[in-house]
């Protein structure tokens, strides 16, 4: 202790000198904002301090000085070519039906309305769509055989699109929930178990029927174990070796799917006295708390023959998008889901967000995280904004 005191005393003049130096520097920084002739500097707010330039060899702001230069060195570019536009199709009349929880989105009436909507998307550079049929309740069963009806709404819509737009890239949804009276992606046993292998048999039939109709990419969203490999073998066996598989690799049991289930009336139904129906999809979709589990799913899908891997939802799972980008050479897709769309729409309608800026920022974030493809209900609007339309 004494040594420390003596040392402190011995350095007292140095400390005083340092204090003087600090005071002088503060004084320099806070002196009045006047030039050498005592007049206010033009172009600066009154009171702006006069300071010498910092000795900084690197100033990152130099690369942000103009929109021309910012756009020249931009790392991630968003283009309509990145978008896959989801379309809901119905045949319960000739008019489009608005989806209340998704402002601006409709169930399109099968036929001319579908063609017109896709033609508009193509006019702005969006040449990829994914088809979601609204199955009438009277066609839904506990085993969902309507899923592989060769003349079902999905299959007819695929043919309609390919007949009118041969170069359109048509994706499908492979899952049983739009056709299942229980509202689940798979067949439900009386004990409330989602049957894995039995479901896959029907998923294979569904995928083949979609390929026969002209689909370019089948997209299993069901999250059954082993379904990618089974579908690949089924497609190859029937001669559809060029039909791709976009797997919903990391599909989470998310709270963001509500408006989509409104659109297709595909939410799980209540159980009955003799049948237990799970109230959610947590026994097959991934736990939102899990990150490393996505690697396991990705490795399995890649080994089974997936051509594209998807993460769903989007914005809350950008870390998983980046994970798949870094662990696999396959293209990565992300689904900007209905709940994300609805939140942006609601905030914009209330004037809380600039919709255009917020949406294009979201699209850029998907690309920055590593997504090659973006499924988004904003496909047409975002493409208009990218083209400079207000």
- Tokens 């439900």 belong to 188
Q: What are the distances in angstroms from CA 183 to CA 95, 175, 266?
A: 26, 11, 5
- Of 134, 281, 312, 345, which is the active-site residue? 312
Point out which residues pair with 108 in neighbouring strands: 89
Taken as a whole, the chain contains a residue count of: 390
Known catalytic residue at 251:
yes
Known catalytic residue at 269:
no
Q: What is the DSSP string of 252-296?
A: B--GGGHHHHHHHT-SPPP-BTTB---SSSTTTSBPTT-STHHHH
Pair 304, 228: CB distance under 8 Å: yes
- Tokens 């931009």 belong to 74
Cβ neighbours of 191 (radius 10 Å): 7
- What distance in Å separates the CA atoms of residue 183 and residue 277, rounded to the nearest whole number? 9
- Of 251, 281, 345, 384, which is the active-site residue? 251
Provide the 3-class DSSP secondary structure of residue 378: coil
- What distance in Å separates the CA atoms of residue 316 and residue 329, rounded to the nearest whole number? 23
Q: What are the distances in angstroms from CA 176 to CA 137, 141, 234, 261, 294?
A: 14, 10, 17, 13, 23
Pair 332, 310: CB distance under 8 Å: yes
Cβ neighbours of 83 (radius 10 Å): 26
> Which of 60, 170, 46, 154 lies closest to 110 in space, CA to CA?
154
- Tokens 């699209």 belong to 363
Cβ neighbours of 209 (radius 10 Å): 22
Name the token pair of 390.
Answer: 């207000």
Q: Which residues are catalytic?
A: 251, 312
């Amino acid at each position: 202790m004494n040594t420390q005191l003596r040392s402190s005393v011995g350095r007292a003049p140095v400390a005083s000198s340092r204090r003087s130096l600090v005071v002088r520097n503060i004084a320099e920084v806070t002196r009045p904002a006047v030039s050498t002739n005592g007049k206010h500097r033009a172009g600066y707010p009154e009171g702006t301090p006069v300071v010498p330039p910092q000795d900084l060899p690197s100033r990152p702001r130099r690369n942000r000085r103009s929109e021309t230069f910012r756009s020249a060195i931009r790392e991630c570019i968003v283009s309509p070519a990145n978008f896959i536009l989801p379309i809901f199709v119905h045949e319960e009349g000739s008019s489009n039906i608005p989806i209340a929880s998704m402002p601006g989105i409709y169930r399109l009436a099968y036929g001319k309305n579908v063609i017109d909507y896709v033609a508009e998307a193509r006019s702005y550079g969006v040449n990829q769509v994914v088809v979601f049929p609204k199955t009438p309740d009277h066609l839904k069963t506990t085993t969902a055989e309507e899923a592989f009806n060769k003349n079902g709404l999905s299959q007819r819509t695929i043919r309609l699109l390919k007949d009118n737009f041969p170069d359109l890239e048509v994706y499908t949804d492979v899952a049983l929930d739009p056709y299942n009276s229980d509202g689940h992606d798979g067949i439900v046993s009386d004990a409330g178990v989602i049957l894995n292998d039995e479901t896959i048999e029907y998923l294979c039939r569904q995928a083949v029927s979609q390929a026969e109709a002209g689909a370019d990419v089948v997209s299993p969203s069901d999250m059954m174990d082993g379904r990618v490999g089974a579908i690949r073998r089924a497609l190859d066996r029937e001669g559809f070796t060029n039909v791709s598989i976009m797997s919903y690799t990391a599909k989470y049991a998310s709270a963001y799917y509500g408006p989509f289930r409104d659109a297709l009336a595909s939410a799980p139904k209540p159980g009955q006295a003799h049948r237990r129906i799970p109230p959610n999809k947590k026994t097959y979709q991934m736990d939102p708390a899990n990150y490393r589990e996505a690697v396991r799913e990705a490795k399995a899908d890649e080994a089974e023959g997936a051509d594209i891997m998807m993460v769903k939802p989007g914005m809350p799972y950008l870390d998983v998008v980046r994970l798949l980008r870094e662990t696999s050479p396959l293209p990565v897709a992300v689904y900007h889901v209905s709940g994300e769309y609805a939140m942006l729409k609601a905030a914009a309608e209330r004037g809380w967000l600039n919709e255009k800026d917020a949406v294009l920022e979201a699209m850029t974030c998907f690309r920055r995280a590593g997504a090659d493809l973006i499924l988004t209900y904003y496909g047409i609007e975002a493409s208009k904004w990218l083209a400079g339309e207000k």
